[in-house]
Amino acid sequence: MNKVWLIRRIAMSFITILVTIIISWILIEYSPESPANAILSNIRANLAANPKFVKIYESEVQYYESLIPHGNPVIEALTYIANVLRGNLGLDVITEIPVTKLIAQALPWTIFVVSTSLIISFFLGIRIGQKMGYKRGTKIDSALMSTFTVMKSIPIYISGALLLYILGYNLHWFPTGGAYCPCVPMGLTFIGCVLYHSALPILTLTLANLATWALHMRANTIYTLGEDYVTFAEIRGVKDKTIETKYVGRNALLPLYTSLIIGIGFSFGGSVFIEEIFSYPGVGHLLYNAITNNDYTLEMGIFIIIITAVVFGVLIADLTYSLIDPRVRYE
């Protein structure tokens, strides 16, 4: 691998993260409808209706006014970036708990649920999609195409609510919320409890992603089957299993590899709808609460995690793509 290209690619990723964070911070901080301004407007509206509460709200008004930047935007942004590089994402506006602590508590649950469902759906999807490509035009292919098209068209919050209602509230097969039972001691029982509570969120996300991977893999397989090197391998008498795995499967998988790595990066942001529906204490649930409460420091902290994870996901995809596609390595 070219060292100059590697250094340049890492530098570009780092600059991309910094620029994106600065733009996001400026849009939130200097917006006329910024969270701090919105909260101050509500407090002042309450004071206008009830002037006798001026003393009670005086400290809150001073606190939220201090959160509104009054200096040079560039200097303010550079100060914020310097704090971020030191690991200081500020205090949560509502609870005044460090944002890093709140994210650290929620992130493991999100990574577990979203990444598990993404990996399961990916490997199932590419296998089913490849078989569909080989059996294109048959009744099985048509039935699966219709099924996956319907699955893909249903919004994830609808499918999540249906699974929760049927499997959770009606049949009582799975819990309807939470990540674990607080009364369960640490050990194998606790692990089983965590898996039991995560079953419905993982199932919902797996079904939602499965259709996408399967349909994309089917299209890539059909396209690859028409390539000259596949026809030449068939003429040479190469075994069907070898053609299916090494000639067709591997090349049809290449366009999906980058999407998988980027998807893992996005998984650090969680699934807002799913985590809110199932009351799962992940980053998505945290982000939903931050948006509804105008908690902009927590919003920015979560945005930084998502931005960093996605950019590094793209970087990892670039660095490892040559391992599965020798043509890139030769170039």
d(CA 35, CA 50): 23
d(CA 146, CA 230): 28
169 burial via Cβ count (<10 Å: 0-12, 13-18, 19+)? exposed
Let me know: does 93 contact 67? Beta carbons within 8 Å: yes
pLDDT tens digit sequence for 144-155: 888 888 888 888
Q: CB within 8 A of 258, min separation 6: which ones?
A: 314, 317, 321
302 burial via Cβ count (<10 Å: 0-12, 13-18, 19+)? buried
- Max mean pLDDT among 101-115, 165-179, 218-232, 311-325 falls in 101-115
Domain ranges (residues) in the chain: 3-85, 100-330
Please report which residue ranges of 154-281 form alpha helices under DSSP H: 156-163, 188-225, 228-236, 240-242, 250-266, 272-277
d(CA 247, CA 136): 18
Q: CB within 8 A of 266, min separation 6: which ones?
A: 306, 309, 310, 313
- Residue 307 identity (one-letter amino acid): I
**For 209-213, 237-241, 326-330, which range has the lowest pLDDT when averaged over its residues?**
326-330
- Which pair of structure tokens corresponds to residue 152? 């893909």
Interior/surface letters 94-128, b for 16+ CB within 10 angstroms, e for the rest: eeeebbeebbeebbebbbbbbbbbbbbbbeebbeb
**For 23-27, 60-64, 114-118, 129-133, which range has the lowest pLDDT when averaged over its residues?**
60-64
d(CA 329, CA 62): 59
- CATH class of the domain defined by 100-330: mainly alpha
Residue predicted with more confidence, 88 or 247: 88
